[in-house]
Amino acid sequence: MNIVTENMENDIIKITHDQILAKKRAYYQANRERILLRNRMYIQRKKEYDSNYQKRNRHSVALRNRKYRLRLKQKIYDILGGRCSSPTCLIPGGCTDIRCLQLDHINGGGKREMKLYGCSTGMIMAYAKLTPEEIKKKLQILCANCNWIKVHENKERVCKYF
Ligand SMILES: [Zn+2]
């Protein structure tokens, strides 16, 4: 005959759980300083390890960052249609070769934004957080030719040779 009912089993588990918690609390109170010191040491060692990891694996870290940047860029390109949006593009229908596509600020101000975010990666990371509507309002894709033609026509950059 089984004399342990379901309720009794629950009671046993509850008591054991409470006892374990009480034991853990007592241990923490008794060794608080030692535990806190150990945690601080762990964080310090982890920081040192991470900073050394960056130095030791500079090449693979750079490669990983590059892949991450390209993934974000691809996401923005997909939202914007993935082709040059200039109606006068030399390639019919707009250039689609990713090697010569560039992100263009529709109303200018790219240089100012670059200063704000520090580098192009920072800028792309910030754009990737925007909604597709905000991206479409702010950016367009142009091929390198169309982008430079726009720069000269709108006098976005002063160049003494043209
Ligand atoms: Zn074009």
Q: Give tens-digit pLDDT for 69-128.
A: 999 999 999 999 999 999 999 999 999 998 999 999 998 888 888 888 888 888 899 999
Where in the sequence is the domain holding 51, given as residue range(s)? 6-55
Cα–ligand 1 centroid distance for 147 (angstroms): 7
Does one domain contain both 74 and 45? no
Cα–ligand 1 centroid distance for 88 (angstroms): 7
**Within 13 A of 159's CA, how many CA atoms are on the CB side?**
11
What is the total count of domains within the chain? 2
The rounded distance, in Å, linking the Cα atoms of 77 and 73 is: 6
5-9, 36-40, 53-57: least confident range: 5-9
> Which residues in the chain belong to E strands, given as ranges?
101-105, 139-143
Q: Which of 105, 120, 93 is nearest to 151 (CA)?
A: 105
Does one domain contain both 77 and 137? yes
Q: DSSP code of 47?
A: H
Domain boundary among 36, 55, 74: 55
Task: Report pTM.
Answer: 0.62
Cα–ligand 1 centroid distance for 95 (angstroms): 6
Does one domain contain both 107 and 65? yes
37 confidence band (pLDDT: 50, 70, 90): very high
Cα–ligand 1 centroid distance for 77 (angstroms): 14
Does one domain contain both 10 and 83? no
